[in-house]
Structure 1
């Protein structure tokens, strides 16, 4: 092979890897803005503890940080990644950083809710940080291109795209500070089996004797299948679990995401946020300490609640004093874990049409891939899709609505998805009978499909093929296909008057029938 041909092959392989690597999964990607991070002066004991483990040169570790939704796991993961990004492997280099790779899972994005792209994404970051291994990575992929296929065996991917590249760094990094990977929101991976396999393979990889000391910080909710995976006999000896009980002068006895010290951290966050609000609203008085403490108590040691409170108070269109009072009216003693649901109830109750607001919020949260407002409106149709923009603008404290209307809207936090996944989580009586967002989306999708059958030859061909397998389809013309498939989108006769099966009508909403 000529030198020029080899160089071209090298660049082509690297370009292919670049295309497969999920940029949105990196800790500082634009896709994840605004990035959650720990405010200076908060989470001090927790971050110090994690840093001490990351500096431990004795042996490689899995650091498992877990807690309930909204306690700040992603903020800690981002802050740790940012810190490690600023630390060099050696004093002699300006390129090679201790942060070797990151992957932030997300149920909202198809390539971030699976492990299929996990190792391709990590090895792309690793080889970008350590150019000396790039040639070997390229050769491995060129010899076995299937490694980049998301359906490829995870066992093969971890060996070729994780263990082998790290082996190449073993001798070079002897005596250096350990490398660090940060993996956030394991529970956002939609396959429980994949999560268990990933944890097991990472643990086996860290047991390899000829790898540099490498630590992996993983965050997740305390889901039973994840707890079970970390308790595996092959995994458990490598795990440093947080919450953790420790002792020592000047050190908290328990380090966790929701310990007693979090109330103080949330007060610090609230004070900082109100100071910034005051810059934009000079007439707004800085709340006294007792008000901050009342708000902090209503947050239930969950940063997502405190953050959403501030977004609600400082939404730009309403008097922040009035909005602050709404937040102070929240019950002071709520059952643990319900604080964020009661907060979302309060936010919905301020909307002009709470029922429609809940419905639109549930639709946005249920989408596998987010959509812009205009496409949401088209998908839902003239009934359900009416006033989408007006309604969603009232939910800016729980939803990111870009100023560019061509960009998708999205929920800020997965707790919103939890909230709308079961209407019993909402105490507003009008929403109790609204069907699941998935059924609404299915009917809306079928309505659009039926509408476009006569104009879409490809769709017509597929449905014509389907027709051959069904005795219920008598006609071959598009209108006939529409009529034959109308049962998919047309509710029973008594429900046509409401347009939403199983619930009372929303004003101005027509039926689903095409």
Structure 2
């Protein structure tokens, strides 16, 4: 392997390093710029939790999985980012200058097709790991040269882990023996759409940490408190390796809970709100700094969920409305909310402030249903002259829950997965206008077909495929993803690439991609469903 003197990027003689670079998902790295502003714990917040995690990461005796879990919006990703940033700033040993303790990071996301699966997990970590430890690049390069299929996302996770991660780690066993443990940070594992993949990954990571020839390493793993993840963690081979947070600790004979949503979080949210309002006041001099009582009221309404507090600030400071009026709207929110419903109530209020709440909800649900996000102009064209009317006007009013780039050629994204939860079931919304809205998946399917019809060539092949698909659908049981996969695969095989291709993913059987012919819509839409 040689070094490109102009760019400083390592090159291999046969291009294997370059292929690894192309397969590695850059957006999964903790500090990828597309996710800016990055979630991060403010100075003076999460002090006990961060200190506890850092203490666990200093343990040199045994490799561990530190499992940080909690409900949506309590700040798991902010903690993961803060720990990753801290580890990136620490050297493995005092003698090294470039090798940092952060060995790699992977932030899962249901919004991106390569980050909602484990298929690219080990390739991504191997690229980061070998970039950090130059001495193992040859090992990684040789493994790929000998078995190029390691970069295939359908390749066995066990084979990928063994060749791309364990073998390089074994080479560093003696070098890292006296240094501080290296750390991998894995965020939002629940965003991986396949429960089977999640269980397999947890099992395989457990096997890796038990390898006697691997140096001590730690894995910070964050997720929602979902049953399938809990079950995988509780497996006999994995459980002894896991430190679980929330955790009950003792100090000076007093029991203490270290968690993401303990009583100390109320104060942390107050700090966050105070700092956010000071920044707003520096830009908007006529905005009065809220009183301590008002900040306490807002913090109480946040229900110890940072996503609620963050959304409140975005709602108040949206750049379009008078922040004083928006603040007053939030102060009038009832405090008698059931635990866990705070964010949904806030989303109700954000929608009710829109000129047309029903249309705003519809367009929000469409954005949340897209696995591959689209720009506003393409969403409008996709939905057509009826449902696609005034898409930009509606979405701009939802800036507090949507990331809408100033460059309109870039895709629109939801800020947080709780938005997808909210629109996944109309009963989560208490606005009467939205109760009769059709599923966004049905709307997207109809819109896709409408756009494709003009580009479909006059061909009996396509009609035959649709007739066969209809026959299969008549005998298909509801919620039968296996038969859905076979039906869609048949349709794809029976048509030409310039007309229609419908593909079912083996990795996520409830996802299908509709591809349309013509230059305008190469990849029209990816629709996903929760299992």
**TM-score, length of structure 2 as denominator length:** 0.85
Alignment partner, residue 49 of structure 1: 52
Q: Decide which of 71, 75, 82 is 1:72's aligned counterpart.
A: 75
Q: Does the aligned pair in 2 maintain the 1:314–1:320 contact within 8 Å?
A: yes
> Which string of whole-angstrom CA distances, capped at 9 and with x for unpartnered residues, describes residues 182-233 of structure 1?
0000000000000001001001100011111100000000100000010000
For 2:189 and 2:469, locate their aligned partners in 1 and report how far apart those are by CA, in whole Å. Answer: 42
User: What is the rounded CA distance, in whole Å, between the counterparts of 1:470 and 1:115 in structure 2?
Assistant: 30
Matches of 1:260 and 1:468 in 2, distance apart?
A: 60
Inter-CA distance 468–292: structure 2 relative to 1 (3 Å threshold): closer
Give the structure 2 partner of residue 418 of structure 1.
421
> For residue 132 of structure 1, what is the aligned residue in structure 2?
135
Per-residue CA shift, 1:141-177, capped at 9, x if unaligned?
1000111100001111111112111101101111100
CA–CA distance in structure 2, aligned partners of residues 462 and 410 of structure 1: 37
User: Match for residue 276 of structure 2?
Assistant: 273
Does the CA contact (< 8 Å) of 2:188 and 2:222 recur in 1?
A: yes
State the shift of 1:463 in Å: 1.8
CA–CA separation in structure 1 for the residues paired with 2:340 and 2:468:
50
1:466 aligns with 2:469: no
Shift of residue 284, structure 1, vs aligned partner: 1.2
* 1:232 counterpart residue number: 235
The CA deviation string for residues 85-127 of structure 1, in whole angstroms up to 9 with x for no partner, is 0000111222100000000000010000000000000000000
1:212 paired with 2:215, answer: yes
Question: Contact 1:10–1:138 (CA<8 Å) still a contact in 2?
Answer: no
* Aligned 8 A contact 2:115 2:192 in 1: yes
Deviation at 1:465, TM superposition (A): 6.2
Closer, same or farther in 2 for the Cα pair 1:93/1:350, shift >3 Å? Answer: same
Cα 1:225/1:281, change in 2 over 3 Å: same
Q: Structure 1: any 5+ residue segments left out of the alignment?
A: 1-6, 473-480, 486-514
Q: What's the counterpart of residue 26 of structure 2?
A: 23
2:322 to 315, 319, 322: 319
Pick from 384, 395, 399 the counterpart of residue 396 of structure 1.
399
Aligned equivalents of 1:236, 1:135: Cα separation in 2: 34
Aligned to 1:12: 15
Structure 2: how far apart are the matches of 1:398 and 1:249? 43
Residue among 86, 90, 114 paired with 2:89: 86
Alignment of 1:50-449 (within 5 A): 50-249=53-252, 253-449=256-452
Cα distance in structure 1, aligned partners of 2:341 and 2:453: 41
Unaligned runs of 5+ in 2: 1-9, 472-494, 500-531
Distance 1:74 1:225, change over 3 A: same
Deviations 1:342-379 (A, max 9, x none): 00000000000000000000000010100000000000
Instruction: For residue 304 of structure 2, give the secondary structure of its aligned residue in structure 1.
Output: coil
Alignment correspondent of 1:508? none
Deviations 1:245-287 (A, max 9, x none): 0011499700000000000000000000000000011111111
Q: Conserved in 1, the CA contact under 8 Å of 2:11 and 2:17? A: no
Question: Residue 468 and residue 318 in structure 1: after superposition, are their counterparts in 2 closer, same or farther (change >3 A)?
Answer: closer
Is residue 10–residue 135 contact of structure 1 (8 Å, CA) maintained in 2?
no
How far did 1:133 drift? 0.3
> What secondary structure is seen at the aligned counterpart in 1 of 2:106?
strand
Offset of residue 452 of structure 1: 2.3
Partner Cα distance (2:404, 2:269) in 1: 25
The Cα shift of 1:467 comes to 6.5
Distance in 2 between residues matched to 1:272 and 1:234, nearest whole Å:
45
1:316-338 per-residue CA deviation (whole Å, 9 max, x = no partner) reads 11111110011111111200110
Report the secondary structure of 1:36's partner residue. Answer: coil
**Contact 1:70 1:305 (C-alpha < 8 Å) held by counterparts:** yes
Change (3 A) 1:323 1:464: same
- Alpha-carbon separation, structure 1, partners of 2:322 and 2:463: 58
Shift of 1:462: 5.9
1:39 is matched with which residue: 25, 39, 42? 42
Distance in 2 (alpha carbons) for counterparts of 1:413 and 1:236: 30
Residue in 2 that maps onto 1:489: none
| Compared CA separation, residues 253 and 427, structure 1 to 2 (3 A) | same
Q: What's the C-alpha RMSD, in Å, of the aligned pairs?
A: 1.9
